[in-house]
C-alpha cells in the first residue's frame, strides 16, 4: 500500500525539462515595454494618488482619514480612541494601521505640525520639533475633528463635490473637500513622488482669507501687502528679502531662511532658545552644537541642554564669563540648524495633472474651483425647492375639492389604482399624486393644506433668488468672500513667525570672534607643528624635537592668519592658525597628519601663510623643472579643508618659494652643481597642475636638491653660475662658494 502511494505522488510531479531533453523558454521583453507596462502605472499612481496634494490642500490619505472621522460623527461628538478611527479608516485606505495613524499624528493639534490642525487630540502625539519624542500608540490616545473641519465639509452632502467608490465598492468617498478657504496655502505639505516632488509652506489662515478676498475683488491686488511671508507653527523668524519672496510668489519655486528666536537671561548668564526653524529638530541642533564644541569651535559655551517641558520648547545654553551673547548667537546661526533654509516647490495636482504654480495661479485655480462648488450647492438647493414647489402645486389643486379627493380614494377598489385615479381626477402628474396619496388621514384638513400652499410663495421667491445668483458671477463671488470673512473672524489667529528684514541682520564673521595676536610658527621635518606666543617664546629655552627630527620651517604671523600645507601627495590642506592651541618650546607640538586628517603615509613638505592670496608661488621639482603659479589658484570660496590636484604629479616636489617681487634664486643639484637665474625668466601658468619649464639640465642619476634666494647662499662668484636663459647646465660649485656646507665637511 505504501508503495502504491509513493507511485501516485511521483506521478503528479512536474517533468524536468532537462531530463525530457527539452530546454526551458526564457521570455524576452524590451526594456521600453517593461517601463511602459510595469513602471509607468506605478509612477502615475504615486503622483496622482499618493504624494502630491490637490487644490483642496489634501493628499488622498488625509482625505480618507478626515472623511471617515466625519462619517463617525466626530465633528460634534466626543473623542474616541485613535485605534477605533484607524480601524474605520481602513474601509477607505487599504494600508496598514501604522501608516494611517502616522497621518493622523501629523494632522493632530498635539503634534504642532500644522498652523490649523484638523484633529483635536488628547494624549501624547509627539512633537514636530523633536526627533526622539515618539508619539504614543493609537490605543492610548483619543481624537475628534477640530471645529475648523466644519469648513472642510460644509455642504458636502449637497453634491458640491464628486464621489467615487472606495477600493472594494462597498461605499463612496469624496474626490475633494469643498473647503471654504484656500487650505492648499494654509496647510504645509511635503511629498516625494516619482520624478517630481512638492514642498508647500504654510501661510497664516487670517492673512490667506483676507488676501483671497482682496484678490477676488481685484486680480491686480498686491498679495505681499496682506500676506507678506509664510507662517510656521514652530515660530521663529524669517530673514525677509522682498525680491526673493516676490519671486517665490511668482514662480512657486525658491527658498528663504528661517532662524530661531532666543532671549538672554543676564542673571543666570544663560541663553534660552524658545522657537526654532520648522525644518529642524531640537536634537539636530544640540548634536551639531556638541560636535562644534568637541572640535573646539564653540569655546564660549560651558553647557547646552534640552529643557523642553509641558510649557513648550526650550534649549538652554550656559555661557562662559565674558561671552557676548549676540556674537555667539550669530555664530550659532551660521554653523548650526538654528538658522535653516526652507525650499519651496508649489507642485499641485490640477485636474489630475501636476503643475508648479505661483501664489496668484493657485488663488486663480482655487477661486474657479470654489466657484464651481458654490454653484453646485446652489443648483442642488434650487432643484430641491423646485421639486417641493411642484408637489405643493399639486396639493394646491387638491385644495379646490378635498371631498372629491377623499371620494376618489374611497371609491377606488384596488390600491394600485389610487394614484392613476387622482391624476385623472385633478390633472396632476404621478409625483404629485403620490405625494397627495401619502398624506396622513389626520392631515386631510383645510388648515394643513392651506399652510402648505402658503409655502409656495416663499418657495417661488427663493427659486427666483437662487436662479439670479446662478446667473450672476458677481453674486457667487460675494458668497465666497463672505464665507472667507466668516472663517477669518472665527478661526483666524495672529502669525507666529516673525519677519526680520535681511538688511537688518548682522552677518557673523568668524574672524571677528577669534582673538588676534602675534605668534611664531614652527614646523619640523617629522610633521610636528607648534604655535608659540612671543611671551612664551621669550621665557622658553631650546626647542624640543624627537631624536631623528629637526626644524624645517619657522616664521611669524598672527592668530587670524590662514595656513596652507603642501604634502607629498599633490594635496594642499587649508587651516587657520586659530585652529591650533598655543604651545610651548618644551613640547613636541601637534602632529599635523593626525590633526589635518591626512592620508596614511602622507607627509608635509611646506607650510606657508597665503595672506590675501596676492603673491605668486614657485614650485621646484626633482626633474629640474619649475612652475610659477598665482597663489589665488589655491583660494577657495567654500570652506574646503583639502585641495586635491594641487600640483603636477610628474616629478616629486622639492621646494616651494613665495614670490612678492622679481629676484635671483640659486638652484643646487645632487651632483654639486649650482645655477643662478632671475625669476623674471619664468612665465606664470594658470593651471595648478602644470609640469613647469626646465630650469637646469640634469645628468642621469642626479636630481634637483634645493633652491634658495641668492642672498641667503654663500656664493661669492655669482657671475660663474648666473644664466640669461633657461634651461641651463649650471656650473660645479667651487669650495669658496660652498660656505657652511664646506666648513662642516672639513670639521667632520
Q: Look at 17-26, 44-53, 177-186 and tell me which has the smallest mean pLDDT.
A: 17-26
What is the rounded CA–CA span in Å between residue 105 and residue 96?
A: 15
- 724 Cβ contact partners less than 8 Å away, ≥ 6 residues apart: none
Determine how many CB atoms are found less than 10 A away from the CB of residue 615.
Answer: 16
Domain encompassing residue 423: 369-490
Helix 205-217 / helix 473-491 crossing angle, nearest 10 deg: 160
More confident residue, 491 or 509: 491
Contacts of 28 (CB under 8 A, 6+ apart): none
Identify whether 328 is part of a domain: yes
Residue 145 belongs to some domain of the structure: yes
Residue 226: Cβ within 10 Å count = 18
Residues 403 and 326 in one domain: no
Q: Each residue of 284-321: pLDDT tens digit? A: 999 999 999 888 788 889 999 999 988 889 999 999 98
How far lies 119's CA from each of 98, 122, 184, in Å?
17, 10, 17
Output the average pLDDT for the chain: 89
Q: In whole angstroms, what is the distance from residue 425 CA to residue 444 CA?
A: 17
Question: Which 8-state DSSP code applies to residue 38?
Answer: I
**Banded pLDDT at 437 (limits 50, 70, 90):** confident
Establish if 324 belongs to a structural domain. Answer: yes
Max Cα–Cα distance, the chain, nearest Å: 152
167 catalytic residue (yes or no): no
Q: Are 432 and 390 in contact (CB under 8 A)?
A: yes
C-alpha cell at 408: 376618489
Cα gap 432→125, rounded to integer Å: 56
pLDDT at 744 over 50: no
- Other Cβ atoms less than 10 A from the Cβ of 234: the count is 23
Is residue 4 pLDDT above 70, yes or no?
no
Report yes or no: 316 and 272 within 8 Å, Cβ to Cβ.
Answer: yes
The mean-pLDDT minimum among 118-127, 185-194, 243-252, 258-267 falls in: 185-194
| pTM reported for the whole predicted model | 0.72
Last residue of a domain, one of 178, 209, 231: 178
Q: Are residues 323 and 373 in the same domain?
A: no
Q: With bands split at pLDDT 50, 70 and 90, how would you rate the model's confidence at 26?
A: low
Q: Considering the domain boundaries, does residue 319 fall inside one?
A: yes
| 6: pLDDT strictly greater than 50 | no
- Say if residue 225 is exposed, middle or buried (CB neighbours under 10 Å; 0-12, 13-18, 19+): exposed
Q: 621635518: which residue's cell? A: 525
The number of helix segments (H) and strand segments (E) in the chain equals 23, 33
Residue 135 pLDDT > 90, yes or no? yes
> Which of 74-88, 121-135, 175-189, 396-410 bottoms out in mean pLDDT, i.e. has the lowest?
396-410
Give the N- to C-terminal CA distance of the chain in Å, as an integer.
107
**C-alpha torsion sign, points 52, 55, 60, 63:** positive
Question: 62 and 172: one domain?
Answer: yes
- One domain, residues 173 and 78: yes
User: Could you give the dihedral angle defined by the CA atoms of residues 53, 54, 56 and 60, in that order, rounded to the nearest 10 degrees?
Assistant: -60
Say whether pLDDT at 514 is over 80: no
Catalytic residue among 140, 167, 417, 706: 140
C-alpha dist (Å) from residue 88 to 81, 557, 594: 11, 73, 60
Helix (H/G/I), strand (E/B), else coil: 264: strand
Q: What value does the mean pLDDT take over residues 435-459?
A: 79
Same domain, 72 and 134: yes
Is it the case that residue 329 has pLDDT exceeding 90? yes
Is 242 part of any domain?
Answer: no
Q: Are 92 and 150 within one domain? A: yes
Question: Do 407 and 321 share a structural domain?
Answer: no
**Of 470, 490, 510, which marks where a domain is finished?**
490
- Average pLDDT on 356-363 reads 96
Among 287, 316, 337, identify where a domain stops.
Answer: 337
Are 93 and 173 part of one and the same domain? yes
| 406 and 303 assigned to the same domain | no
Please report the pLDDT score of residue 513 as a whole number.
60
Within a domain: residue 551?
no
Q: What is the pLDDT of residue 579?
A: 84
The pLDDT of 108-118, averaged and rounded, is 95
* Count of structural domains, the chain: 3
Examine the domain organization and report whether 422 and 464 are in the same domain.
yes
Question: Which pLDDT score, from 0 to 100, does residue 512 have?
Answer: 54
Q: What is the CATH number of the domain that holds 415?
A: 1.10.268.10
CATH number of residue 306's parent domain: 3.30.1360.40
What percent of the chain lies above the pLDDT cut of 90? 64
Q: DSSP states of 697-719 as a string?
A: ---TT--EEEEEEGGGS----HH
Task: Mark whether 89 and 162 lie in a shared domain.
Answer: yes
* Over residues 437-444, mean pLDDT: 77
Q: Using 50, 70 and 90 to split pLDDT, how confident is the model at 17?
A: very low
Does the structure show a pLDDT above 60 at 23? Answer: no
Task: Please report which confidence band the pLDDT of residue 528 belongs to, taking 50, 70 and 90 as the band edges.
Answer: very high
DSSP per residue, 365-380: HHHHHHHHHHHHHHHH
Both 316 and 417 in a single domain? Answer: no
pLDDT confidence tier of residue 538, bands split at 50, 70 and 90: confident
Comparing 45 with 748, the larger pLDDT belongs to 45
φ/ψ bin of 239: left (φ > 0), alpha (ψ from -120 to 50), beta (otherwise): beta
Does 480 reside within a domain?
yes
Within a domain: 148: yes
Average pLDDT over residues 537-541: 82
For residue 528, the cross-strand partners are 591
**CATH number, position 67:** 3.90.199.10
Amino acid at each position: 500500500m505504501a508503495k502504491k502511494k509513493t507511485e501516485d505522488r511521483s506521478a503528479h510531479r512536474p517533468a524536468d525539462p532537462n531530463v525530457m531533453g527539452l530546454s526551458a523558454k526564457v521570455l524576452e521583453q524590451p526594456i521600453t515595454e517593461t517601463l511602459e507596462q510595469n513602471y509607468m502605472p506605478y509612477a502615475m499612481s504615486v503622483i496622482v494618488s499618493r504624494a502630491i496634494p490637490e487644490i483642496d490642500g489634501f493628499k488622498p490619505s488625509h482625505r480618507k482619514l478626515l472623511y471617515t472621522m466625519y462619517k463617525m460623527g466626530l465633528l460634534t461628538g466626543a473623542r474616541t480612541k485613535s485605534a477605533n478611527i484607524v480601524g474605520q479608516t481602513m474601509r477607505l485606505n487599504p494600508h496598514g494601521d501604522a501608516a494611517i495613524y502616522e497621518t493622523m499624528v501629523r494632522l493632530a493639534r498635539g503634534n504642532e505640525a500644522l498652523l490649523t490642525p484638523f484633529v483635536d487630540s488628547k494624549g501624547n502625539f509627539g512633537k514636530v520639533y523633536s526627533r526622539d519624542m515618539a508619539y504614543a500608540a493609537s490605543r492610548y490616545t483619543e481624537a475628534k475633528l477640530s471645529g475648523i473641519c466644519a469648513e472642510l465639509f460644509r455642504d458636502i452632502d449637497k453634491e458640491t463635490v464628486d464621489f467615487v467608490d472606495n477600493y472594494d465598492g462597498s461605499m463612496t468617498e469624496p474626490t475633494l473637500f469643498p473647503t471654504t478657504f484656500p487650505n492648499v496655502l494654509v496647510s504645509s505639505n511635503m511629498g516625494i513622488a516619482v520624478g517630481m516632488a512638492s514642498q508647500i509652506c504654510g501661510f497664516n489662515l487670517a492673512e490667506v482669507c483676507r488676501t483671497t478676498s482682496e484678490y477676488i475683488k481685484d486680480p491686480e491686488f498686491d498679495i505681499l501687502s496682506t500676506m507678506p511671508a509664510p507662517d510656521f507653527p514652530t515660530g521663529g523668524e524669517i530673514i525677509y528679502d522682498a525680491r526673493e519672496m516676490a519671486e517665490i510668489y511668482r514662480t512657486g519655486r525658491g527658498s528663504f531662511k528661517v532662524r530661531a528666536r532666543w532671549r538672554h537671561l543676564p542673571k543666570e548668564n544663560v541663553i534660552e532658545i524658545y522657537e526654532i526653524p520648522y525644518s529642524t529638530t531640537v536634537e539636530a541642533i544640540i548634536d551639531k552644537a556638541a560636535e562644534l564644541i568637541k572640535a573646539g569651535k564653540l569655546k564660549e559655551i560651558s553647557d547646552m541642554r534640552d529643557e523642553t517641558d509641558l510649557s513648550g520648547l526650550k534649549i538652554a545654553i550656559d555661557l562662559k564669563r565674558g561671552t557676548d551673547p549676540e556674537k555667539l548667537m550669530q555664530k550659532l546661526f551660521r554653523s548650526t540648524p538654528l538658522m535653516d533654509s526652507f525650499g519651496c516647490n508649489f507642485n499641485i495636482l490640477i485636474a489630475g495633472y501636476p503643475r508648479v504654480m505661483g501664489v496668484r495661479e493657485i488663488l486663480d485655480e482655487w477661486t474657479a474651483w470654489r466657484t464651481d462648488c458654490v454653484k453646485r450647492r446652489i443648483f442642488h438647493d434650487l432643484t430641491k425647492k423646485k421639486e417641493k414647489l411642484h408637489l405643493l402645486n399639486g396639493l394646491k389643486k387638491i385644495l379646490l375639492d378635498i371631498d372629491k379627493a377623499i371620494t376618489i380614494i374611497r371609491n377606488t377598489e384596488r390600491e394600485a389604482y389610487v394614484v392613476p385615479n387622482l391624476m385623472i381626477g385633478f390633472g396632476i402628474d404621478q409625483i404629485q399624486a403620490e405625494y397627495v396619496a401619502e398624506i396622513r388621514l389626520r392631515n386631510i384638513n383645510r388648515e394643513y393644506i392651506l399652510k402648505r400652499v402658503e409655502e409656495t410663495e416663499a418657495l417661488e421667491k427663493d427659486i427666483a433668488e437662487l436662479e439670479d445668483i446662478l446667473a450672476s458671477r458677481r453674486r457667487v463671488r460675494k458668497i465666497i468672500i463672505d464665507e472667507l470673512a466668516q472663517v477669518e473672524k472665527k478661526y483666524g489667529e495672529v502669525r507666529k513667525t516673525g519677519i526680520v528684514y535681511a538688511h537688518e541682520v548682522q552677518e557673523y564673521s568668524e574672524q571677528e570672534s577669534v582673538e588676534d595676536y602675534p605668534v611664531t610658527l614652527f614646523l619640523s621635518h617629522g610633521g610636528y607643528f607648534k604655535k608659540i606666543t612671543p611671551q612664551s617664546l621669550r621665557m622658553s629655552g631650546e626647542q624640543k624635537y624627537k631624536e631623528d627630527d629637526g626644524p624645517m620651517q619657522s616664521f611669524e604671523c598672527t592668530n587670524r592668519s590662514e595656513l596652507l600645507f603642501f604634502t607629498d601627495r599633490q594635496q594642499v590642506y587649508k587651516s587657520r592658525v586659530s585652529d591650533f592651541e598655543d604651545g610651548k618650546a618644551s613640547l613636541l607640538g601637534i602632529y599635523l597628519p593626525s590633526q589635518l586628517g591626512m592620508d596614511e603615509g602622507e607627509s608635509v613638505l611646506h607650510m606657508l601663510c597665503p595672506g590675501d592670496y596676492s603673491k605668486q608661488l614657485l614650485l621646484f621639482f626633482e626633474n629640474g623643472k619649475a612652475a610659477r603659479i598665482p597663489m589665488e589658484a589655491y583660494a577657495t570660496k567654500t570652506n574646503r579643508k583639502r585641495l586635491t590636484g594641487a600640483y603636477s604629479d610628474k616629478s616629486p616636489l622639492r621646494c616651494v618659494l613665495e614670490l612678492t617681487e622679481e629676484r635671483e634664486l640659486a638652484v643646487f643639484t645632487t651632483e654639486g652643481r649650482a645655477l643662478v637665474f632671475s625669476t623674471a625668466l619664468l612665465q606664470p601658468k594658470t593651471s595648478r597642475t602644470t609640469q613647469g619649464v626646465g630650469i637646469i639640465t640634469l645628468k642621469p642619476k642626479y636630481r634637483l636638491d634645493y633652491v634658495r634666494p641668492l642672498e641667503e647662499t654663500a656664493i661669492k662668484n655669482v657671475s660663474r653660475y648666473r644664466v640669461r636663459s633657461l634651461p641651463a647646465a649650471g656650473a660645479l660649485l667651487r669650495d669658496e662658494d660652498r660656505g657652511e656646507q664646506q666648513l662642516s665637511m672639513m670639521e667632520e
